[in-house]
Amino acid sequence: MKQSSRAGDIILALFFYVPVVWGALLIAQSLGRGLPELLTNLTTALQHPLDIHWTDKSLLSILICTSLYIMGLCVYASEQRRTRDGEEHGSAAWGSPRQVNAMFRQKENKILTRHVRLGLDTHKHRRSLNVLVIGGSGAAKTRSYVKPNILEANTNYVITDPKMEVLTATGGWLKSKGYDIRVLNLVNLEESDGYNPFRYLKDEKDVLKLVNNLIQATTPKGSHESDPFWTSATRSLTVKSQRTNNKIPLFG
């Protein structure tokens, strides 16, 4: 199509070049005699268009008119390339799912819909990875969004799973992918991972820091102690009990 259109443009340009040469020969008969005489002779020449004579100025006139004609064609061609037919009022349009996916998808990605995925490297696409999923009970939020993204196994996960259904469905898969799974189960502590602060005590400063944290954690917010003696006594007694408890190796 482009080759046929280009050939048609060339034929059209040559067709209009014929009257350019004809006009150049008419102008050549009066060239160099002043503008008034040139206009008078042009009027006479137009009345007898075929009465053309070759003069010593004919070649110069043809060259000048040809140059002007070529310049006009160049200006016309440059203006044509700048136009976008049918987009005079803008070309913005909704992208298709495939176009959006091709723009934002990466090897490591987050599943948004069946056809669209968003890469995890936000520095490349400058888009937020935060997603808000809204749906009523039983609307398949976990099944259609949470589980598919967990099964991608391409990043670290912190999951709130009150019913343990996500752990049951995806735990084995994540283990097969080399994940280290930690579970905080406040209902059944026997099935929960825990934290033993005594394993990290190395010297007396660590013991004192732990005791202070325990006292602050068990003191009601906004309360004021009437006698600091009891707090100091509690601190001293607790530190002493930690030192004398042979079941917990405190210092190696």
95 versus 183: the higher-pLDDT residue is 183
Domain count, the chain: 4
What is the pLDDT of the chain when averaged over all its residues?
Answer: 80
Contact assessment for residue 242 and residue 202, using Cβ atoms and an 8 Å cutoff:
no
Residue 120 lies in a domain: yes
Q: Is residue 144 part of a domain?
A: yes
* Same domain membership, residue 103 and residue 173: no
Q: Is residue 187 part of a domain?
A: yes
Contacts of 141 (CB under 8 A, 6+ apart): 133, 135
* pLDDT-wise least confident of 54-58, 99-103, 110-114: 54-58
Query: Does residue 251 sit within a domain?
Result: no
Residue 176 and residue 226 in one domain? no
Together in a domain, 11 and 57: yes
- Per residue in 12-58, pLDDT tens? 888 888 888 877 877 776 666 666 766 776 777 677 767 777 778 78
**One domain for residues 28 and 54:** yes
* pLDDT of res. 1: 47
Question: Do residues 65 and 137 share a domain?
Answer: no
Examine residue 15 and state whether it is found in any structural domain, yes or no: yes
Task: Please state the rounded mean pLDDT for residues 159-188.
Answer: 92
Does 16 share its domain with 59? yes
Residues 29 and 72 in one domain: yes
Classify residue 88: in a domain, yes or no: no
Looking at the fold, whether 51 and 7 belong to one and the same domain comes out as yes
pLDDT of residue 227: 60
Q: Which of 157, 178, 194 is the last residue of a domain?
A: 194
Kindly state whether residues 30 and 78 are assigned to the same domain: yes
Average pLDDT of the residues in 107-132: 90
Q: Which of 145, 114, 143 is nearest to 131 (CA)?
A: 145
pTM, two decimals, is 0.51
- Residue 232 maps to a domain: yes
Domain span at residue 110 reads 97-130
Q: Are 71 and 8 found together in one domain?
A: yes
